[in-house]
Structure 1
Amino acid sequence: MNEIGYHGTCSKHKDSIESNGFDPAKCNYRADHWLGQGVYFFDDYEKALWWSATAALHNNDFGRVIFKATIEAPDEEVLDLDDNKQLDVFFTEVIQCIDEIEKDCSGNMPVFDDKNFCALFFDYYKQKKNIAVITRTFQKDYAGYTTRRNKKDKELQKKIMNITGLGFNERQICVSKKECIKSTKLIYNEEEEVI
């Protein structure tokens, strides 16, 4: 893998990222990360710009920044969940893991919250298979970077999506090893914009 990723965040993280680069080991732990722990990138600048507004809003309206980085990893350390063969291998491994847990629990299976289940098994899979990068294209009904619609139009759009099987595609890249994130560069700083 060798591709460009865009990371949108709030400006309070700018100095740290410029000084130290991105370090997945220093990211805040979140039990609900959809691809496990790591630094998340979009393959699209506009989506990173949209996400930076969300990050700024959740951080006392700090300004928005976007970093561009080259992501490099050997193919055997990349899990591409858009590839059906790789997805099948992932499912097989997770099913085997659950079977092993059930055998060891004597009927007292641990309770896995669906919201946290995803991150738990991605992190397990990364460790077991020495995976540094996971990519996935998610399909969404609505996103902040699309045309704003009123409630009635949103419901109609959702109905059309259900009928057609279409949705907004959002490819994300989760990097779990610092050495895979190369040539990080600040490419947008809202605070430097002239009004």
Structure 2
Amino acid sequence: MKIPLIVHHGTYGTAGKDIVRDKMYKIGDMREDHWLGQGIYFFREDVEQAAWWAKEKVTNTPKLSKEDAVVLQSILEVEESRFLNLDSRSGLSKLEKYLNDFEDKLNMHGLAMTDDTNVLRCFYMDNISKKEIDIIQRTFPVRSYYDKVVPITNMQLCLHGVQVCLRNSKLVKQDSIGIVKHFPSDTIRRKKRSRRRRININT
């Protein structure tokens, strides 16, 4: 049985237009600390979270300072057996079985004693065979304005983002790709970079 996922991808304007034109997402730069391993990242059914990410990207990347921010919506279709949902009991049970095969690789890479959670998780996810799993999903807590809203914190509630890591771009329904939010560059609040004062040490 196939599971349809409505997902949102936040990025900068030029990249967004390229994706819509080519009807294709590309896997980004390889990193050792991706949240769910190497792949194409989306937020599941959360356009606002993707919008926040897109604006953060153009705000904090100097070479994108003149870029707009955009959010793309797409539909993924994945076989239930190839969807690793780490928010579910069955998903964690499946992950446990994979972990039993990883201990030797972990020691070989010198990660047995690492205290970097993201590096460790990324290593495990990357070693799950792409021949078996096409999509990995996990919900993570996100720091936000709501962390300061007392009634919300009193109920031990906080913002979460459902992250989806797509490892097989062929699962994207091409006719579903489209831009659903657009933030022109001049409407995005940029963070001012502080200039360092020069101190004259000559006497």
Structure 2 length-normalised TM? 0.74
Verify the 8 A CA contact 2:37 2:126 in the aligned structure 1. Answer: yes
> Take 1:167 and 1:126, find their aligned partners in 2: how far apart are those partners?
33
Verify the 8 A CA contact 2:146 2:159 in the aligned structure 1. Answer: no
Alignment of 1:111 with 2:116, yes or no, is no
- If each structure's helix is expressed as a fraction of its own residues, which one has the higher value? 1
In structure 2, the residue matched to 1:55 is 57
> Take 1:51 and 1:192, find their aligned partners in 2: how far apart are those partners?
14
Write the letter of the residue equivalent to 1:180. L
Unpaired runs of 5+ in structure 1?
Answer: none
In structure 2, the residue matched to 1:168 is 159
Deviations 1:169-195 (A, max 9, x none): 21111111111111211122223999x
Superposition misfits of 4+ residues, deviation over 4 angstroms = none
RMSD: 2.8
Cα deviation for residue 117 of structure 1 reads: 1.7
Verify the 8 A CA contact 1:2 1:70 in the aligned structure 2. Answer: yes
In structure 1, the residue matched to 2:196 is none
In structure 2, the residue matched to 1:75 is 80
> Take 2:151 and 2:123, find their aligned partners in 1: how far apart are those partners?
33
Alignment of 1:31 with 2:5, yes or no, is no
Cα deviation for residue 8 of structure 1 reads: 0.8
Write the letter of the residue equivalent to 1:42. F
Between Structure 1 and Structure 2, whose CA radius of gyration is higher?
2
Residue 125 to residue 117, structure 1, CA distance change in 2 (3 Å): same
Write the letter of the residue equivalent to 1:68. Q
Query: SS of 2:6's equivalent?
Result: strand
Cα deviation for residue 168 of structure 1 reads: 2.1
Query: SS of 1:14's equivalent?
Result: helix
Quote the sequence identity (%).
23
Unpaired runs of 5+ in structure 2?
Answer: 188-203
Query: SS of 2:102's equivalent?
Result: helix
Aligned length: 175
Deviations 1:145-179 (A, max 9, x none): x3484xxx7xx799x57xx6543221111111111
